Amino acid sequence: MATGQAAMLRFGASGRADWRKVSIDAIGADEKELQSKLLICLPRAYFEADGSVEPWTKEAIEECRTRLEPVLALTDKEREFLDGVIDRGEIDASLLDVDADVQQRIGRLPMLNWEAGNVKKISAKA
């Protein structure tokens, strides 16, 4: 596993969304939002070669999906790591195929420990 993959997993484990259900199909863009927020930051002629923002948007979405697909494809061990954090509030970074020092840093991440603590509190109330 690359360190980038480990970073995505620790981000996913400590977020609100269930990272086990994240899919490349969810990657998209709102054209109105792009026009109101992105276009103002670019030179006026930026999309002239494409004719409009639409072809560029479609190409950007496909490129993001292609590049993120391997990162979002979980191994059994990665899924087990996420199951532990999300379902039981347990952080077992040894499941991740990264160097021991990276595993230790992941295990100490405040955001991840906060999420695991919340899971344990909610489980105790149930």
pLDDT tens sequence across 84-122:
999 999 999 999 999 999 999 999 999 999 999 999 999
Amino acid in the structure at residue 3: T
Q: Tell me how many degrees the CA angle 15-62-54 measures, rounded to the nearest 5.
A: 110
Instruction: Give the helix, strand, coil percentages of the chain, each rounded to 5.
Output: 70, 0, 30
Q: pLDDT band at residue 14, thresholds of 50, 70 and 90?
A: confident
Name the residue with tokens 């991840």: 112
Domain ranges of the chain: 3-125
Here the tokens at position 43 are 């030179």
